[in-house]
Amino acid sequence: MLPYTTVLPKPLLPVGERPILAILLEQLAAAGITRIDLCVGYLGELIRAYLLETPLRLCDAELVLHTESQPLGTAGALHEIPELEEPFISLNGDVLTSLDFGALMCEHRESGAALTVAVQAHKTAIGSGVLELDGSRVTAYIEKPVLEHLVSLGIYALDPRALKHLPPGHVDIPTLVAKLLAAGEQVHAYRFDGHWYDIGTLGDHDAAVAELSANPERYLPDSGHPS
């Protein structure tokens, strides 16, 4: 997202007239979440200043900020949050989605899993012919296949017991998932076929802006804010 992220952390990048972080926080509050812990690192002082100066529709949700002294990763940051004694949702701060957070948590609880990953089917077109071999003998020739796979949406539900398998220091979610699987814990996939934009590139950002402009009712329809 350069050059924008030289002066702004990604969660403060505007999608329409508002930062993506503001949209996410209000979505979480509207879903009935009563406490939101926000772990900030790179340019985190700008996020803190924005939240201090900007009124948000958070219903009765309590907002608590935690500043990382060093980068801890998408899972390691959970070490910064005390009293995680009930199932909770963890997500990246640069995602625009119409996912129902309440439905995610409901399925997570029913599954009995230590961790649930929100996933979506994506297709990847291979621009060349793909060969299948048995040693050096060609057994199949597939011209420009389209592969379908499930990708993580950067949105998770966790049971507190998952944190017992969280190593210290910098840890990303894939490492935590591997630790859980190695320990025999259940990891569940929550399939979501709705709207999701990971704002990681300029093209992704443009797509998210266009989506919100065309369909503001999918994102906090009762917020009263312009898109």
CATH, residue 128:
3.90.550.10
- Domain membership of residue 226 (yes or no) is no
Under the banding of pLDDT at 50, 70 and 90, the label for residue 225 is very low
- Alpha carbon distance 38, 199 (integer Å): 18
Residue 2 in this model has a pLDDT that exceeds 70: no
pLDDT digits (tens, 9 = 90+) for 113-132: 999 999 999 999 999 999 99
Q: What is the pLDDT of residue 5?
A: 66
Q: Residues 6 or more apart from 102 whose CB is under 8 A from it?
A: 31, 32
Is 227 a domain residue?
no
If pLDDT is split at 50, 70 and 90, which confidence band does 16 have?
A: confident
Has residue 88 been placed in a domain? yes
Q: What's the CA angle centered on 196, arms 156 and 220, to 5 degrees?
A: 90
Average pLDDT, the chain: 90
Could you give the CA distance from residue 122 to residue 48 in angstroms, rounded to a whole number?
Answer: 35
Domain region containing 95:
4-216
Q: Give the number of domains in the chain.
A: 1
Read off φ and ψ for residue 179, nearest 5 degrees. Answer: -65, -40
- Between the two ends of the chain, the Cα-to-Cα distance in Å is 21
Angstrom distance (rounded) from CA 107 to CA 193: 15
Percent of the chain residues past pLDDT 90, beyond the cut: 69
Let me know if residue 221 belongs to a domain.
no
The whole model's pTM is what?
A: 0.87
Would strands 187-191 and 115-125 be described as parallel, antiparallel, or unpaired?
Answer: parallel
- Is the pLDDT at 227 greater than 50? The verdict is no
Q: Does residue 101 lie within any of the structural domains?
A: yes
Q: Is residue 208 in a domain?
A: yes
Under the banding of pLDDT at 50, 70 and 90, the label for residue 8 is confident
Residue 55 pLDDT exceeds 70: yes
In a domain, 196, yes or no: yes
